[in-house]
Each structure stands twice: as structure tokens, then as C-alpha cells.
Structure 1
Amino acid sequence: MTDIKLLDKFMHRIHAESANENNAESESEIDDLGVFGFLRGSRERATMLELRKRDGHVLAVGYGMFEVEFNPSEGIALHFADRKITIKGCNLNAEAKPNIKLFEAICRHRVPWLREASEPERLSACDGETLIEAIEW
């Protein structure tokens, strides 16, 4: 194999690897949908769910450790062996973006974090907007 062919082969491989890395990076980006993040990549799954309170208190829980329940009058409940975490708010099972609902996204491990809305966000929220008023544990 000549030096030119060897160099071309090597350069082609580097170009293909960098294209795959760029594609993987864009696939794993997180959409910020206000009160929760959503993993865009079709194969992306979060291992932990980070719960952020307004006062700065943060709790991260493993997705494999809880069951999820949605009750329209009570909100979303995360059931653990030793505790229950309740997410209260409005439109928790409504589309925050086309084809993206908070409850369904949690069920599919696509939410890496969620947070309580700030007071200004709560006051200026639009009808139909997903809003987390409280996270209780």
C-alpha cells in the first residue's frame, strides 16, 4: 500500500469517527422545558432523577428504585420502599412540547431533572403550561 493510500485511509477513518461523535453529542442534549429537562436522543435514558426545590435543596433518586403514579387531583407520586415523593402542580400529564408529557417522560426515564417553579413563573404561567408548584419528600 502506498503512503498516499495509507494516509487517505487513515484520514477517512478519523473523519468518520468525528462525525459519529458529533452525532452522539447532538443526540444526548437536554431540552430545558422550564420546570423539567428532557433527553432528546431517542436512545437516551437517565439513570438518576434530580429533584430541585426552590430553596436550593436537591435530591437525586435512582430510576430503578421507584414506581410512578399519576393522579390528576394529587399530582405525580414516586413510590419507594421506605418513602413517597409527591410532585404537585398543573398540567403534569399535558404536552409541554409536541409529543412530550412530563409523566410519560418520567415513565420512560427521559427526565434527568425537574424543579419547583419560582414565584414569578407561577404568577405568569400560561394556561396549559406544565408547572411544578411543590415537590414533597
Structure 2
Amino acid sequence: MGAFDLLHIAGSSLGMHQTWLDALAHNIANANTVTGTDEDAFQAQMVVARARPDGGVSVGGIEYGDPEGRMVHSPDHPLADENGYVRLPDIDMSSQMSQLVMAQRGFQASVQVTKTAQDSYNAALQIGRS
């Protein structure tokens, strides 16, 4: 492992965790998006992480939730069908919030690794100057 490999690995983790955070924020923001029964529900985004050969991680893709969503009886809603139903996304908020905590902590850990590596490299440079 080279001297700066740690920064590349931590940087790749920062990028993947940022994408995960963005997807979770998008899901949470659209958890109550209502559509008519003749339309697809909002589809939650799920980030697929992929290990890289250099020890880092990258976004392997984005998978989407079920477009069927869930049917909710809401006869007063303007988008309700003749039976009084609307379609909502099938998003479990407790799962989204748990994942949000994991993604935030992963991001914070990657930031700390980056800071520690930079401090170590700076200390080594100072020793070399002495």
C-alpha cells in the first residue's frame, strides 16, 4: 500500500456515503408523495455499494423500490379514484432513518480517517524538514 492509498480509499468511501445520504434524503422527502391509482408510486432509491480492487468502495448502482407502492383509502383526496383510494410509496420510515444514521456515521468515519491521514503525512513532512 502506497503512502497516499489511504486517502484514495477514504475518498472513495466519502463519495459512496454521500450518494447513499442523497438517496435517503430523496426517499424521506418523498415518503408521503401521493399519486393516483392509475400511476406508479414514488420508487425509493437504494444504493448498491461495490468493493474496489484497490480497497476502496464505489457505487455499484441504484436499485428502485416497488412502483406498486401501497393503496390507501383517502376518499377526500383530490387524486382519489372512484373507490376513494390513492397510491403512496412503500417506504418504511424507521428503516430509512436507521440507514440515515449508518450513512452519516460512515461518512463521519471517512472524514476522520482523511483528517488523521493528512495529520500523519504533515507530521512526516515536518520530520523531514528538521
User: Do the two structures share a fold, i.e. TM-score over 0.5?
Assistant: no
> In terms of Rg, which structure is larger?
2
More helix by share: 2
Q: Compare the two structures and name the one with the higher strand fraction.
A: 1
RCO higher in structure (CA 8 A, sep ≥6): 2
Q: TM-score, normalised by structure 1?
A: 0.30
Output the TM-score relative to the length of structure 2. 0.31
